[in-house]
Amino acid sequence: MTIKNHGIGRWQGAGLMATTLLGTSIFILPQMTINIAQQGALIAWLLLTIAIIPVTLVFARLSALHPHAAGPAYFAEQAFGRLTGRVIGVIFLFVVPIGAPAAILMTFQFVNALVNLTPLAQLLMELGTLLLLFLLNYRGIHVSAKLQFLLTLMIVIVVLLLLGAATLTLSVPVPKTTFVEFDLIMLAAGLAFWSFLGVEAMTHLADDFKHPKRDMIPAMMIGTLLVGALYLACTWLLLEVPNNEPLAMAAAFNQLLGGYGTIIIGALGIAGGLATVNVYTASVARLLCSFSQDGIMPRYFSQKNQFQVPTRALASILLLMACVLIFTYVAKQNIEDLIAWVNGVFVVIYLVSMLSAWRLLPSNSRPLIFLGILLCLGLVYGLAAHMLYAVILITSVTPPLYWQLQYQMGKQIEIASLKEAIMSEPNI
């Protein structure tokens, strides 16, 4: 018997969106951008938040009008044909099993702040995390959506407490006139872009909403604006409470609220990181299942459990993530390389999605789409050589996908011709 999924509501969706973007980054990235641009980090976060709003709106409008588990791959197919859709979907399949382990590795920076782990013990805990993700997703994304909404509230409460304490205890800040080079601001913004990877992940979950046309746009916008405000707040806070600790937010917590910063910030950082990987895991499992049903991937991945969760696809994605984690442990792979490769592929996915929106959405959306295209092209310029992985990936998967599509179309024509011949034969 199939158990009905009650679906995601507007505020649960906003929680999913916010925790996906906050993830591993909210208590780490502000510190990293300050190390690059000092006072310019605030400008970098403000510019990035403003720039991501058009992209979020375009994705929300696309998923509200065209809800589908394939997300950007489906948009690309509707706009440019089946081959483009398949290419976008397959490169997404190939990049998430790399990006999610990178997010897990970042999450374990918080674990190491709480417990000093050996490399082998950390690997075993990372693999155990993948088992936890399977259990979280087994009954459907709406279960973890409720938990992630509570997590978002906790993060917001902690940041508000820190801001309140800073306002009460710090002296009136003196306006700073330090000149910051524009290149440093853009470099910080480029690093901060990692925090907004996840906007497109929500489009895969459109069918899991109770009312996608009504709730997708508000959920995604609330989540994005909330996250932008939180990053700005944390950056301002660290500028006003400077320290040289490895986990600066924990040190700021200790200074402003009297202790327990490592435990509280560490726990929230770990939970936020798991939330990020959780949403991506659910998204890519649904995409793999959708491709399986369409004949792009083997039928094996199309099976769903009684909660309508594609368990085989989910288990396969998690197994691939485990292989990546083991590889990074054995090869001592640099996490920065993983992040750069992921960013390059996602820029391509964002750009093709914006171009698809130009065809699929009403003309009154085109100013937003144009701004989204400009952001993507700017990121391509900024990533430069890091785009090479995306180029190699696209050129590798396109020929076999083209041949597969031609073969399937030939089979369809052959079957149609056979049916027509049978129907045209006279009755004997």
Judge whether 312 lies within some domain: yes
Judge whether 420 lies within some domain: no
Judge whether 171 lies within some domain: yes
Judge whether 299 lies within some domain: yes
Whole-number Å distance between alpha carbons of 145 and 428: 62
Place of tokens 């780490």: 28
pLDDT at site 326: 92
CATH of the domain at 281: 1.20.1740.10
Containing structural domain, residue 90: 10-388
Is 247 strand, coil or helix? coil
The number of folded domains in the chain is: 1
pLDDT in tens, 25-81: 778 888 888 888 888 889 889 988 888 889 888 988 887 787 776 778 889 999 999
13-27, 69-83, 187-201, 297-311: which has the minimum mean pLDDT? Answer: 13-27
Whole-number Å distance between alpha carbons of 124 and 146: 28
Is 40 strand, coil or helix? helix
HSE on the CB side for 90, CA within 13 Å? Answer: 21
Whole-number Å distance between alpha carbons of 254 and 242: 12
pLDDT in tens, 103-120: 888 888 788 878 888 889
Angle, CA 178 vertex, CA 189 and CA 164 arms, to 5°: 70
Is 7 strand, coil or helix? coil
Judge whether 399 lies within some domain: no
Q: Is the pTM here over 0.85, yes or no?
A: no
Judge whether 214 lies within some domain: yes
Distance of CA 406 to the CA centre of its chain: 32
pLDDT at site 4: 41
